[in-house]
Structure 1
Amino acid sequence: MKYLYLLKLPIIILFMLISCQADTVQVGEQKLTLSNTEKENNLEPWKAKWISTVDKLDSVNAWTMFQKSIRLEEVPPKPLFSKIAVDSKYWLWINKQLVVFEGGLKRGPKPNGTYYDEVDLSPYLKKGENQINVLVWFFGKEGFSHKNSGKSGLLFEVQKLPALSSNDSWKAWKQGGFGHTQEPHPNYRLAESNIYFDARKGSLDLTNSVALGANNALEIGRAGDSPWGELTARPIPQWKDFGVKNYINTKDFPFTSKGDTLTMHLPYNAHITPFLKVKAKAGQLISIQTDNYMGGSNPNVRAEYVTKDGEQEYESLGWMNGHEVHYHIPEGIEVLDLKYRETGYDTDFNGVFYCDIPFYNRLWEKSLRTLYVTMRDTYMDCPDRERAQWWGDLVLESGESFYALSPSSHLLTKKGILELVNWQRHDSTLYSPVPAGNWDRELPTQMLSSIGKYGFWNYYLHTGDRQTIKEAYPAVQRYLSLWKLNDQGTLVLRQGGWTWGDWGSNKDMELLYNTQYYMALEAYALMSQLLGEKETFDALQLKMELFKKNFNKVFWTGAAYRSPQYKGATDDRSQGLAVVAGLAGEETFQHILRILQKEKHASPYMEKYVLEALFQMGYPEQALNRMKERFAEMVHNTQYTTLWEGWGIGAEGFGGGTTNHAWSGGGLTLLSQYVAGVSPLEAGYRVFQIKPQLGFLTHIKATVPTVKGKIVLQIDKDSAFKMDLTVPVGTKAIVHIPNAFPKINIDGVKIQGVGQADSWVVEIQEGSHQILAKKSE
Structure 2
Amino acid sequence: MKTIVMIFALLLTVTALRAQELPPAQWITTTRSQSATNTWIAYRKTVQLSAAPAKALASIAADSKYWLWINGKLVVFEGALKRGPNPQDTYVDEVDLAPYLRQGENTIAILLCYFGKDGFSHKSSGRAALYFDCMAGNTPIRSNRDWKTALMNAYQAAGAPYPNWRLSEPNLLFDARSERKGWEQPGADVRWMEGAKELGLAGVYPWNRLITRPIPQWKDYGMKAYRNAAAIPAVSSGDTIVCELPYNAQVTPYFEIEAEAGGHVQIFTDNYYPFNGAESNIRGEYITRAGVQAYEHLLWMNGHKVFYVFPKGVKIKSLRYRETGYNTAFSGAFECSDPFFNRLREKALRTLYVTMRDNFMDCPERERAQWTGDAVNEAGEVFYAMSPSAHQLIRKWLHEVVSWQQPDGKIYAPVPAGNWFDELPCQVLSTLGYYGIWTYYLNTGDKATIADLYDGAKKYLMLWEPDGTGLMKFRGGDWTWGDWGDNRDLLPMYNLWYYIALDGMERMARELNKPADAARFGADRARFHTAFNARFWNGAAYRDPAYKGKTDDRTQALAVVSGIAGREKYTAIMKIFAEEQHASPYMEKYVFEAMFRMGYPDEALARHKARFSDMVGDDRFTTLFEGWGIGEKGFGGGTVNHAWSGGGLTVLSQYLCGIEPLSPGYDTIRIMPRPGKMEQASAVVPSVKGMIRSAFTNRNGRFLLDAETPAASATVIAIPAAGVKKIKMNNKIAWANGAYAKSGVKAFGTEDGYVRFLVGPGKYRFEAEK
Same fold at TM > 0.5 = yes
Selected match of 2:182 from 192, 200, 205: 205
Selected match of 1:47 from 24, 28, 43: 24
Residues 479-628 of structure 1 correspond to what in structure 2 (within 5 A)? 479-628=460-609
Letter in 1 for 2:194: N
Selected match of 1:746 from 713, 729, 746: 729
Letter in 2 for 1:702: A
Quote how far apart the aligned CAs of 1:379 are: 0.3
Contact 1:286–1:327 (CA<8 Å) still a contact in 2? yes
Residues 365 and 634 of structure 1: is their aligned pair in 2 closer, same or farther, counting only changes over 3 Å?
same
Residues 739 and 683 of structure 1: is their aligned pair in 2 closer, same or farther, counting only changes over 3 Å?
same
Letter in 1 for 2:119: G
Contact 2:162–2:281 (CA<8 Å) still a contact in 1? yes
Quote how far apart the aligned CAs of 1:252 are: 5.6
Selected match of 1:166 from 143, 156, 163: 143
Bigger mean CA offset, 66-75 vs 404-413: 66-75
Letter in 1 for 2:712: G
Contact 1:254–1:336 (CA<8 Å) still a contact in 2? no
**Which residue does 2:658 correspond to in 1?**
677
Letter in 1 for 2:677: F
Contact 1:143–1:438 (CA<8 Å) still a contact in 2? yes
Residues 706-745 of structure 1 correspond to what in structure 2 (within 5 A)? 706-718=687-699, 719-740=701-722, 741-745=724-728
Letter in 2 for 1:144: F
Alpha-carbon distance in 2 for matches of 1:433, 1:131? 40
- Secondary structure of the corresponding residue to residue 99 of structure 2: coil
Aligned length: 732
Contact 1:488–1:554 (CA<8 Å) still a contact in 2? no
**Which residue does 1:148 correspond to in 2?**
124
2:244 is the alignment partner of 1:262: no
Alpha-carbon distance in 1 for matches of 2:233, 2:703? 59
Letter in 1 for 2:757: V
- Secondary structure of the corresponding residue to residue 435 of structure 2: coil
Bigger mean CA offset, 387-396 vs 151-160: 151-160
TM-score, with length taken from structure 2 = 0.94
Residues 650 and 206 of structure 1: is their aligned pair in 2 closer, same or farther, counting only changes over 3 Å?
farther
Selected match of 1:756 from 740, 748, 751: 751
- Secondary structure of the corresponding residue to residue 383 of structure 1: coil
**Which residue does 1:37 correspond to in 2?**
none
- Secondary structure of the corresponding residue to residue 200 of structure 1: helix
Letter in 1 for 2:106: N
2:77 is the alignment partner of 1:92: no
Selected match of 1:382 from 353, 360, 363: 363
Contact 1:270–1:322 (CA<8 Å) still a contact in 2? yes
- Secondary structure of the corresponding residue to residue 362 of structure 1: helix
- Secondary structure of the corresponding residue to residue 525 of structure 1: helix
- Secondary structure of the corresponding residue to residue 164 of structure 1: strand
**Which residue does 1:38 correspond to in 2?**
none
Alpha-carbon distance in 2 for matches of 1:742, 1:349? 39
Contact 1:253–1:336 (CA<8 Å) still a contact in 2? no
Selected match of 1:641 from 613, 618, 622: 622
Residues 358 and 149 of structure 1: is their aligned pair in 2 closer, same or farther, counting only changes over 3 Å?
same
**Which residue does 1:271 correspond to in 2?**
250
Over residues 690-746 of structure 1, what are the superposed CA-to-partner deviations in whole Å (9 max), with x where a residue is unaligned? 111111211112101100001012211112111121110111210111113341211
**Which residue does 2:746 correspond to in 1?**
none
Alpha-carbon distance in 1 for matches of 2:601, 2:316? 55
Alpha-carbon distance in 2 for matches of 1:253, 1:464? 51
**Which residue does 1:657 correspond to in 2?**
638
**Which residue does 2:297 correspond to in 1?**
316
Alpha-carbon distance in 2 for matches of 1:252, 1:634? 29
Over residues 102-148 of structure 1, what are the superposed CA-to-partner deviations in whole Å (9 max), with x where a residue is unaligned? 00000010111000001010110111111000000001100000001
Alpha-carbon distance in 2 for matches of 1:329, 1:449? 48
Letter in 2 for 1:602: A
Alpha-carbon distance in 2 for matches of 1:44, 1:555? 70
Instruction: Pick 1 or 2: higher relative contact order, CA cutoff 8 A, min separation 6.
Output: 1
Residues 50 and 210 of structure 1: is their aligned pair in 2 closer, same or farther, counting only changes over 3 Å?
farther
Residues 177-576 of structure 1 correspond to what in structure 2 (within 5 A)? 177-203=154-180, 205-208=182-185, 209-251=188-230, 255-294=234-273, 295-576=276-557
Alpha-carbon distance in 2 for matches of 1:593, 1:202? 65
**Which residue does 1:135 correspond to in 2?**
111
Contact 2:677–2:698 (CA<8 Å) still a contact in 1? no
Bigger mean CA offset, 254-263 vs 368-377: 254-263
Quote how far apart the aligned CAs of 1:748 are: 2.3
TM-score, with length taken from structure 1 = 0.93
2:117 is the alignment partner of 1:122: no
Moved over 4 A (4+): 43-46
Contact 1:254–1:337 (CA<8 Å) still a contact in 2? no
Selected match of 1:175 from 152, 158, 180: 152
Contact 1:570–1:599 (CA<8 Å) still a contact in 2? yes
Quote how far apart the aligned CAs of 1:176 are: 2.7
Letter in 2 for 1:151: R
Contact 1:168–1:217 (CA<8 Å) still a contact in 2? yes
Contact 2:44–2:184 (CA<8 Å) still a contact in 1? no
Alpha-carbon distance in 1 for matches of 2:52, 2:265? 44
Bigger mean CA offset, 162-171 vs 369-378: 162-171
- Secondary structure of the corresponding residue to residue 636 of structure 2: coil
Letter in 2 for 1:658: T
Letter in 1 for 2:765: Q
Quote how far apart the aligned CAs of 1:364 are: 0.6
Contact 1:88–1:104 (CA<8 Å) still a contact in 2? yes
Over residues 539-585 of structure 1, what are the superposed CA-to-partner deviations in whole Å (9 max), with x where a residue is unaligned? 11111101100000000000100001100000000011111111111
Contact 1:67–1:210 (CA<8 Å) still a contact in 2? no
Selected match of 1:102 from 73, 78, 94: 78
Alpha-carbon distance in 2 for matches of 1:610, 1:227? 46
Contact 2:49–2:139 (CA<8 Å) still a contact in 1? no
Q: Percent identity?
A: 48
**Which residue does 2:7 correspond to in 1?**
none
Alpha-carbon distance in 2 for matches of 1:374, 1:383? 5
- Secondary structure of the corresponding residue to residue 602 of structure 2: helix
Alpha-carbon distance in 2 for matches of 1:487, 1:515? 17
Letter in 1 for 2:40: W
Kindly report the root-mean-square deviation, in angstroms, between the aligned alpha carbons of the 2 structures.
1.4
Quote how far apart the aligned CAs of 1:162 are: 4.9
Alpha-carbon distance in 1 for matches of 2:242, 2:176? 23
Alpha-carbon distance in 2 for matches of 1:408, 1:226? 32
- Secondary structure of the corresponding residue to residue 198 of structure 2: strand
Alpha-carbon distance in 2 for matches of 1:458, 1:648? 30
Alpha-carbon distance in 2 for matches of 1:770, 1:107? 50
Bigger mean CA offset, 45-54 vs 714-723: 45-54
Letter in 1 for 2:76: V
Alpha-carbon distance in 2 for matches of 1:205, 1:393? 43
- Secondary structure of the corresponding residue to residue 341 of structure 2: helix
Bigger mean CA offset, 245-254 vs 643-652: 245-254
Quote how far apart the aligned CAs of 1:210 are: 4.6
Quote how far apart the aligned CAs of 1:206 are: 4.1
**Which residue does 1:774 correspond to in 2?**
769
Residues 57-76 of structure 1 correspond to what in structure 2 (within 5 A)? 57-76=34-53
Alpha-carbon distance in 1 for matches of 2:482, 2:417? 21
- Secondary structure of the corresponding residue to residue 251 of structure 1: helix
Quote how far apart the aligned CAs of 1:663 are: 0.6
Runs of 5+ consecutive residues of structure 2 not aligned to the other structure: 1-19, 741-748
Over residues 75-128 of structure 1, what are the superposed CA-to-partner deviations in whole Å (9 max), with x where a residue is unaligned? 12x221000000000000000100000000000101110000010101101111
